[in-house]
A = this chain, B = another copy of it.
Amino acid sequence: MSAARLDETTRGVFPISATPFAPDGALDLDSLDHLVEFYLARRVHGLTLLGIMGEAPKLSPAESRAVVCRAVGRVAGRVPVVVGVSSPNLSALAALANDSMAAGAAGVMVAPMSGIVGDDALVAYMASVIGAIDAGTPVVYQDYPQATGVTLTVEAFHRMVEVFPQLVMLKHEDAPGLTKLSRIRAEAARAGRRRVSILVGNNALYYPQELARGADGAMTGFSYPEMLVEVYERFATGDRDGAEDVFDVYLPLLRYEAQPGTGLAMRKELLARRGALASPTVRAPGLTLSPDDRRELDRLVTRLERRLKA
């Protein structure tokens, strides 16, 4: 039932899936089925569960497993599924990773716990993570210092690529990060190092530039994943201008959705308006949208639709 596991050649768009809740905050697994179909109908190349946009820290362990089980089951091998398993509790991290792989996931994503300073400590932390999970589990390193406070130097990443064969992908979302991405690609090529997959996060705000610098796709939660797919595909076939034209049409909404703090509520609102979610509920405690916010979304969507028609 599972798709092939992640490896260094994995490419494409792996949206960060929202986690559906009923208006009372209960997990809504029926809506999750529907959401999976929404993403697959937009021809995504994979799916990412339990990311930060998936409100992972607000789920109980049992709920996390229920989400993985249901979504992987519904996907039914059509695309690979990555599961975010980050936790300061190493055995909880390992248990969720192992259970997810057993359920048919294609790999797990790990952001380092807060408080790690220095290359050595970071490599040691990843060694303890990789030692704790089942051998051979493909691992995605999530480089998101804005949330974790942990700096990934290019040198540390090269070291991890050398010593951890399971590390097959970087979720790149340091900001500013364009130079880091270019350095990783150039230095690895020069040194004959293993080339790993790099998918970009950070709301895809620099997506065309990142593809040109050697990224292999995107792993982010924009509410119109079909844009991420179309840009990727045009780029892959050499139509860079066409890719950028498509990106630019969506950019006014994309940059608005990318606001720190309210972004998640906006994405769930738009996914609900698009019929992908039964309810836009964000689990408490979380920001809610003001009437001004909703009016701005209305305008931006109206303007987007007008441009898409043109």
The residues of A with any CB-CB pair to B shorter than 8 Å are 25, 57-61, 88-92, 113, 115, 117-120, 125, 128-129, 132, 151, 153-155, 175-176, 178-179, 182, 205-206, 209, 212-213, 241, 244, 247-248, 251-252, 255-256, 259-262, 283-285, 290, 292-293, 296, 299, 303
The 7 tightest CB contacts between A and B, nearest first, are A57-B88, A58-B89, A176-B259, A176-B261, A128-B285, A90-B284, A118-B153
Residues of B within 8 Å of A176, CB to CB, are 259-262
Residues of B within 8 Å of A259, CB to CB, are 175-176, 178, 206
How many identical subunits does the complex contain?
Answer: 4
Residues of B within 8 Å of A57, CB to CB, are 88-89
Residues of B within 8 Å of A205, CB to CB, are 255
Interchain CB contact (< 8 A) of A213 among B117, B154, B209, B292: B292
Beyond known contacts A213-B292, A241-B303, A248-B303: 9 more, CB 8 A cutoff: A57-B89, A59-B89, A90-B285, A117-B151, A132-B284, A175-B260, A179-B290, A179-B292, A255-B255
A-B contact pairs, 10 of them (CB 8 A): A58-B91, A61-B61, A90-B283, A90-B285, A179-B262, A179-B292, A182-B290, A182-B292, A209-B296, A244-B303
Q: Is the interface of A mostly helix, strand, loop or mixed?
A: helix
Residues of B within 8 Å of A255, CB to CB, are 205, 251, 255
B256–A248 CB distance below 8 A = no
Residues of B within 8 Å of A303, CB to CB, are 241, 244, 248
Residues of B within 8 Å of A129, CB to CB, are 285
Residues of B within 8 Å of A261, CB to CB, are 115, 176
Please, how many angstroms separate the alpha-carbon atoms of A116 and B120 in the complex? Answer: 19
